[in-house]
Amino acid sequence: MDIETVGVIGAGQMGNGIAHVFALAGYEVRLNDVDADRIDAALALIDKNMTRQLSRGAITETDKNAAIARIRKSTDVAEIAGTDLVIEAATENEKIKHQIFAGLAPHLGEHTILTSNTSSISITRLASATDRPERFMGFHFMNPVPVMELVELIRGIATDEPTFNTLKGVVDRLGKTAATAEDFPAFIVNRILLPMINEAVYTLYEGVGTVESIDKAMRLGANHPMGPLQLADFIGLDVCLAIMHVLHDGLADTKYRPCPLMVKYVEAGWLGRKAGRGFYDYRGETPVPTR
């Protein structure tokens, strides 16, 4: 089927980036959140990020103005449910995601495809609680969405071929690259990435190295563009912990046990860049390691 209108649920870090790339690709976007102020903040950030693209010559003034005009804000899920494609991009909490899809159910068009931007939760389980498991998929964008090329496409056990082919076509129209993943905990990227981050936290926890030395070692010794602890702060330590819990619970293997130090940081509210403190303190002019 042809996708022309897209509803994005959640105007946070991922939702605003998803709305950004869809609007630039010519889709009519409805950006939804329970908090109207968060939608306004997302639109301001989208404008800022598009201005940055404009300054680099990646887009034109006409592109930017047209894209901004394609984004409509909404706090009413009924408006979102009437789109061709719904992308749920709320917090990484399965209970909340189920509540969102249950709220959409009475308003959905017969043709609407449902997707989740979840980075780890079972697509089959999310789909099974809806009225359209065959038209439900995982649609996992990487952060920051306007910059990162990859989109993971995850089929649930009931996902039909037309739904997959439609979403593969959407990825192509966005100018991104799809990687197909099976529906197992954390899929491909986070199945590999998050245990590495967790191991870096264990390396800190056990005193093998400091925050600075661990990140320096991986940047210069493994040629990573960002150290694992710096990356954890960028992702959000609460998100990292949630994914490790999904891996540990879903695969029942002790190698996925979340590091107690990561748990402690989350308990303290030191969630990384978005909270001003994580493995680095971001409240000053220059980030400073907290350990």
Give tens-digit pLDDT for 86-134.
999 998 899 999 999 999 999 998 999 999 999 999 999 999 999 999 9
Please indicate, yes or no, whether residues 113 and 222 belong to a single structural domain of this protein.
Answer: no
Please indicate, yes or no, whether residues 155 and 250 belong to a single structural domain of this protein.
Answer: no
The secondary structure of residue 272, as a DSSP letter, is B
What does each C-alpha distance from 189 to 125, 154, 184, 212 come to in angstroms? Answer: 20, 12, 12, 25
Is the preceding omega at residue 228 within 30 degrees of 0, hence cis?
A: no
Rounded Cα distance, 283 and 107, in Å: 44
Hunting for tokens 């306007």 — which residue is that? 146
- How many structural domains does the chain have? 2
Identify the pLDDT of residue 21: 98
Identify the pLDDT of residue 129: 92
Identify the pLDDT of residue 248: 96
**Quick one: tokens of 198?**
């967790």
Q: Of the candidates 67, 37, 22, which has an alpha carbon nearest to the alpha carbon of residue 175?
A: 22
| Residue 201 identity (one-letter amino acid) | V
128 inside domain: yes
Residue 121 near residue 129 (C-beta atoms within 8 A) = no
202 inside domain: yes
What does each C-alpha distance from 154 to 150, 158, 233 come to in angstroms? Answer: 13, 11, 26
Please indicate, yes or no, whether residues 258 and 139 belong to a single structural domain of this protein.
Answer: no
Please indicate, yes or no, whether residues 252 and 170 belong to a single structural domain of this protein.
Answer: no
Please indicate, yes or no, whether residues 127 and 252 belong to a single structural domain of this protein.
Answer: no
Identify the pLDDT of residue 9: 96
Q: What is the mean pLDDT of each run of 10 residues along the chain (291 residues)?
A: 93 95 97 94 96 95 97 90 94 92 92 95 95 97 95 97 97 97 95 98 98 98 97 96 95 97 98 96 96 92
Domain with 88, as residue range(s), is 5-182
Hunting for tokens 């099974």 — which residue is that? 128
Give catalytic residue positions: 119, 140, 152, 190
Could you tell me the CATH number of the domain that includes residue 221? Answer: 1.10.1040.10
Please indicate, yes or no, whether residues 205 and 244 belong to a single structural domain of this protein.
Answer: yes
Rounded Cα distance, 243 and 201, in Å: 14
All residues at 6 or more sequence positions from 266 whose CB lies less than 8 Å from its CB, including other chains: 237, 238, 241
Identify the pLDDT of residue 81: 87
What does each C-alpha distance from 101 to 39, 116, 180, 232, 272 come to in angstroms? Answer: 20, 10, 23, 29, 29
| Residue 73 identity (one-letter amino acid) | K
Instruction: Tell me the binding residues for NAD(+).
Output: 10-15, 33, 92, 97, 119, 143, 274
Last residue of a domain, one of 159, 182, 205: 182
Identify the pLDDT of residue 126: 96
Please indicate, yes or no, whether residues 204 and 269 belong to a single structural domain of this protein.
Answer: yes
